[in-house]
Structures are given as structure tokens and as C-alpha cells.
Structure 1
């Protein structure tokens, strides 16, 4: 299975193009990095590739077909700011089990404590809530996992632990990864190849 973004261009209204004719191909089992400064359009491309943003030029294909519009999304996007990706009126346990029921092994790998599940999102730190979002997205149906600066707010030890868990599960399930970061060292270390996104700005 392959996730493909073909000649994707995006702008808002009649404003200047954010980026033009971006092309990204990700196979299952591959980790592709997107590198570039803030504001160059990396996050927007991630939203397009995961089906959240439908106003663009070009096409996104999953195994040669348009993205499914109903049911569980086989392409899961983790946002940089987890508080924007959860329902503040739901307790954490309900948020976590929204798409599936993560097992104890995954929760332990992400250092998620059972007591968190009885709390409200506002009662968790940003890093704690992000781990909930990551676990929620790693359902067995997930084929491609897009991480948009997902560990930026975490300390180095927690970052390492999360990446170890995600990369291990990706290898086990043959998931494709798209990893957005400003950190070239991180991308070079965990990705099979890295795309310099500034080449698509015109």
C-alpha cells in the first residue's frame, strides 16, 4: 500500500501560493521526513494528506484510489497541539477509546498512567495529552501515521521513549510514517529519507 500526494498546491483565497506542486510518496514500512521552517506549509500538507483539508490543487491517493470519506481513517494525523484534537467535554478514557481500545502494552510503552483516564483533558499536561492522542491514533486499522512536530513540547527522555514505541509498532505493523520536524538530526536518525519542503515554495 502507498500514500501519494501528486502535485499538491495550496493557497488561501487569492493570496500568494503557500506551496506549489508538492509531491510526496510513502510506502508502508517507510519513514519519510518533511523538513522546513515554520510557515512553509508542512502542516497544511499533512492536513491535506490525511483528508482534513479538501481545498487544494492536485490529488491524494491511497493505494491508487481517493481517500475514503467514511469510517475509520487509515491515515492518522497527530497535531503539534493536542488540546486542539480532543473534545474538552469528554474524559480522557473516552477520548482514548474513541476509535479503538489500546492494550496495556501500548499504554505502558507510551508511559500512560491508568489514573489519567478518569481526568478531564484540561487536567493533563500537554505532553501527557499528546501521549493519549498518539495511543488513540495507533489502532490496528492505521496504515499511515503522520506526526506533525508531535514531540516538540516534551523533554528529551520522553521524546526518545515515544519514538521508540511508535517506530517499533510501525516496524511490526509495516505502517508508513510521515514525520515533520525542524530537527534535521532527528529526521536523519529515524527516517529512510528526508524531503526539504522549501523546494515547493514559489
Structure 2
């Protein structure tokens, strides 16, 4: 399965373009790293790939067709700030089961405690809430998993455990992954190839097919 950004660009209102004419292809079964300085447009690009935002120009295609707009999204995005990705009026149990029902094994691997599921988002720490968001996104229907600085609020040991769980699941399912991080060591260790986002400017750039 292919996830393709074709000549995409993004701007907000009449502000300057963040990027234009960007081309990239991602395939299931590969883990791609995305590097670049803060504010260069990486998160906006991820939002386009996952269908959270509309392209200002160009299109995002999944196996040659537009991203589905109804039902479970096969491209899942984990935001850096989980509080922006959940409904504050839902308890954690409703949030985590929004698209599917994670099994006990996954909850244990992500160190999610059962008592958390009875709490409101405001009663959970950022790290606890992020684990719920990760579990929510790992449904069997997920074909591409986009991680935008997803473990920066966690300690090093917890980060390692979560990445081990996600990477193992991705390998078993043949899921594609896009990893956004400022941690070059992490990118080099887990990714099969790397995109350097600072090379994406106002002109056309083709990212390897």
C-alpha cells in the first residue's frame, strides 16, 4: 500500500507558504524518519498526510485514491501534545475505544492502568494521556502510523518501551511508519530511510520514490 503526497502545499489564510510542491511516497512495511528545525512545517505536513487538514494545493493519495473521510482512518497521527487530540468531555475509556477496543496485552505493553479509563483527560498527565492516544491509533485497520514527536514528554526508559511495542506491532502487521523527531539517534536507529525537511522550500522537491 502506498501513501503519496503529490505536489502538496500548505499555507494558513494569506500567510506565507510553509511549503509548496512537495512530493513524497511512503509504503507499508517501511519506517521513515522526518528531520528538520522547529517551525519548518513538519507537523503541518503530517496533518495533510493523515487527513486532519486539507491541502492548500496538491493532493494526498492512498493507493491512488483520496483519503477516506468516513469511518476509521487508515492513516493515524499521534500529536506531540495529546491534550489537543482528545475530547475533554469524554472519559479515558471512551477515548481509547473510539475506533476499536484495545486488548489487555496492548494495554499492558503500553503500561496503561485500568483505573485511568475511569478518569477525565484533565485528571491524567501528558504521558498517561499520550499512551491512551497511541493505543487508540493502533487498531488493526491502521496501515500508516505517523508519530510527531510522540514520546518527548516521557522519560527515556518509558520511551524505549513504547517504541519497542509500536515497532514490534508495525513489523508484525506490515504497517508503514513516519517518525518525526529532533532525536537523530532515534531516527538512525529505527528508520529505514530519512527525509531532511529543511530541504523543502518554496520550490519543488521530489522525495525519493
Same fold (TM over 0.5): yes
Q: How does 1:61-140 map to 2 (within 5 A)?
A: 61-140=61-140
Q: Is the 8 A contact 1:82 1:130 kept in 2?
A: yes
Q: Is the 8 A contact 1:75 1:146 kept in 2?
A: yes
Between the aligned partners of 1:152 and 1:38, the Cα distance in structure 2 is 14
What residue number does 1:2 align with? 2
What residue number does 2:207 align with? none
Q: Is the 8 A contact 2:92 2:118 kept in 1?
A: yes
Between the aligned partners of 1:30 and 1:36, the Cα distance in structure 2 is 20
What's the RMSD between the two structures over aligned residues? 0.9
Number of residue pairs the alignment of both structures matches: 202
- Do structure 1's residue 48 and structure 2's residue 40 form an aligned pair? no
Between the aligned partners of 1:94 and 1:69, the Cα distance in structure 2 is 21
What residue number does 2:205 align with? none
Name the SS of the counterpart of 2:70 in structure 1. coil
Between the aligned partners of 1:15 and 1:95, the Cα distance in structure 2 is 34
CA displacement 1:113-140 (0-9 Å, x = unmatched): 1111111111111001000000000001
Question: TM-score, normalization: structure 2?
Answer: 0.94
Residue 55 of structure 1, CA deviation? 3.6
What residue number does 1:31 align with? 31
Q: Is the 8 A contact 1:40 1:201 kept in 2?
A: no
Between the aligned partners of 2:26 and 2:47, the Cα distance in structure 1 is 15
